[in-house]
Amino acid sequence: MSRPNILFIMSDQMVADLTSAYGHPVVQTPHLRSLAESGVRFDAAYTPFPLCAPGRACLMSGRHASAIGAWDNAAPLTCDQPTFATYLATAGYDTALSGKMHFVGPDQLHGFRQRLTTDIYGSNFGVYEEWIAIKEAKGAHPEEVMAHRRRYNSDYYVSDGIQTDTWHTALSYDEETHFRAIEYLRAQGESDGGQPFLLAASYHHPHEPFWAPQRYWDLYEGADIEIAEYPVGFEEGRSQMDLNLNAYHGVTRNDLRDPESQRRVRRGYYGVTTYMDDKVGDLLRILEETGLADNTVVVFTSDHGDMLCEREMMQKRCFYEWSCRVPLIVRFPDGWKGGTTMRTPVSLLDLLPTFNDLADYGDALPHDGESLLPLLDKGEDPERLVFAQAHEAVGMPCIMARQGRYKYNYIHGYQPQLFDLEVDPREWDNLIGDSAHEEIASRFEEMVMERFDPDAMAEENRPVCTAVG
């Protein structure tokens, strides 16, 4: 395959399991399902940081948050960090971004030769004044930290936070993102094809507010919408990470457990997920109409997921599957590995070296990802190890390690977590302290400590709050 075009489609806050592409029986994502059927579906893909700005900074640079200082939503990706757009532009690609990449600070290109839209957020630091004020509350109790906030995240996760048939900023933004992306593809289809392109089409949906346009809301009238389960006594098993995040998000300010409220919230989420799927369908159709599909690799993913009231938690920032695991689908124009499902854990950090391989660019600086192409060529790899980090609003360095069937969550200064995802996919049974898994837990701890320095990370990333008892 000669150097192909790359269409990189990115959603925001999409839960892999809440798509028909990943087998959900209710949520309608026919275009993603079709993409997966003709491409490769990765079943254990993880964001390197389950939060917008740092997750995207890591994705773009191919480096872990602790390596680039991407501690939170107010941290800039510095201009001295090359990105996959930098490398592909150097390799002769036309690199274009339509939509959201959550770049903080004055550099809004980071290797893209052109932005077709502004970002959905302002490029200056003023929008983060609230978060900076929260960071300054070092050592404060979480309830004191919450006092700095203008609103609580949980407001969007109850019935009163859901509206329908309401035009709002996120919809306007995604419509412009979509129009500019289609306009770009049509122009590429009319060109002589002498220069390959990378187009990143990055949307806000299905990120909250889950305010679906009416026809998408109506699509789920009478649908069987499952709600979260709360096993008796599960609260006693909450990690310190859970406790701190729940305090930050203000989960006790609203009743997240109310069944009817959950059905309304999830119906809205299902609606905006299908809205996002339709955007994918449009882009794929334009590729076919313009003839670009014959030489364009399509990659679809999301920056993180959403807990959607599972475990009485919401939003992202944690390592549970609905938050940290993301959809990742790759389709090659020659049909290579079409219909393949990969169970080996991979990371969005792997996209930078993958894109470089596709562009035949071999001079990248050191990074933390591994190209997906050799993995696809050789098949499943039981030894492949991926990491994720989370620091913002948590209060201490937290590091996830996933290898094979096990996931280990290091929580600096507190009891870690170990889950066997094959027998416990909902992550209820923490195996730490189980004598049968002592060796596995020790091995994971060693792998984390060999790769990272949590003490140094704690010193550099000032904690937001003390632990919640």
Mean pLDDT of 34-63: 97
Burial 7-42 (b: 16+ CB within 10 A, else e): bbbbbbbbbbebbbbbebeebbbebbbbbbeebbbb
Please say whether the beta carbons of 266 and 21 come within 8 A: no
What share of the chain in percent tops pLDDT 90?
A: 80
Average pLDDT over every residue of 91-116: 93
Residue 444 pLDDT grade (very low, low, confident, very high; cuts 50, 70, 90): very high
Specify the pLDDT at position 286. Answer: 98
pLDDT of residue 2: 81
Give CA–CA dist 415/243, Å, rounded.
13
CB distance 57 to 363 below 8 Å: no
Q: Report pLDDT digits (tens) over 140-149.
A: 554 555 555 5
Specify the pLDDT at position 393. 72
In angstroms, the CA 365 to CA 361 distance is: 11
Q: How confident is the model at residue 232 (pLDDT cuts 50, 70, 90)?
A: very high
For residue 34, is pLDDT > 60? yes
Is the pLDDT score of 466 beyond 60? no
Q: What is the mean pLDDT of the chain?
A: 92
Give residue 165's pLDDT.
87
pLDDT range class, residue 61, cuts 50, 70, 90: very high
Asked if residue 135 has pLDDT above 70, the reply is no
CB 247 within 8 A of CB 146: yes
**Rounded distance between C-alpha atoms, residue 219 and residue 208, angstroms:** 19
pLDDT tens for 367-411 read 999 999 999 999 999 999 999 999 877 778 999 999 999 999 999
pTM for this predicted structure: 0.94
pLDDT classification of 107: cutoffs 50, 70, 90: confident
163-167, 217-221, 320-324: which has the minimum mean pLDDT? 163-167
DSSP state of 404: T
The predicted pLDDT at position 465 comes to 43
The region of weakest confidence among 37-41, 160-164, 174-178 is: 160-164
- How far is residue 20's CA from residue 43's CA, in Å, rounded to a whole number? 13
Exactly one of 102, 110, 207, 412 is catalytic; name it.
Answer: 102
Q: Is 324 among the residues known to form the active site? A: no
44 has pLDDT over 70 = yes
SS (H, E, C) 339-358: CEEECCCEEHHHHHHHHHHH
Q: Which segment of 248-262, 336-350, 427-441 scores lowest on mean pLDDT?
A: 248-262
Hey, what are 343's tokens?
Answer: 């169970």
pLDDT class of 123 with cuts at 50, 70, 90: low
Q: Which residues, 6+ apart, have CB-to-CB distance to 301 below 8 Å? A: 9, 10, 11, 45, 326, 327, 328, 329, 348, 351
Helix (H) or strand (E) holding 135: helix 129-135
Which residue in 24, 52, 110, 205 is the catalytic one?
52
Has 79 been annotated as catalytic?
A: no
Give residue for tokens 């892999």. 16
Contact (CB, 8 A) for 81 and 419? no
Residue 8 vs residues 46, 84, 138, 219, 400: alpha-carbon distances, Å:
17, 11, 39, 28, 26
Eight-class DSSP state of 116: S
Number of helices and strands in the chain (H, E): 15, 13
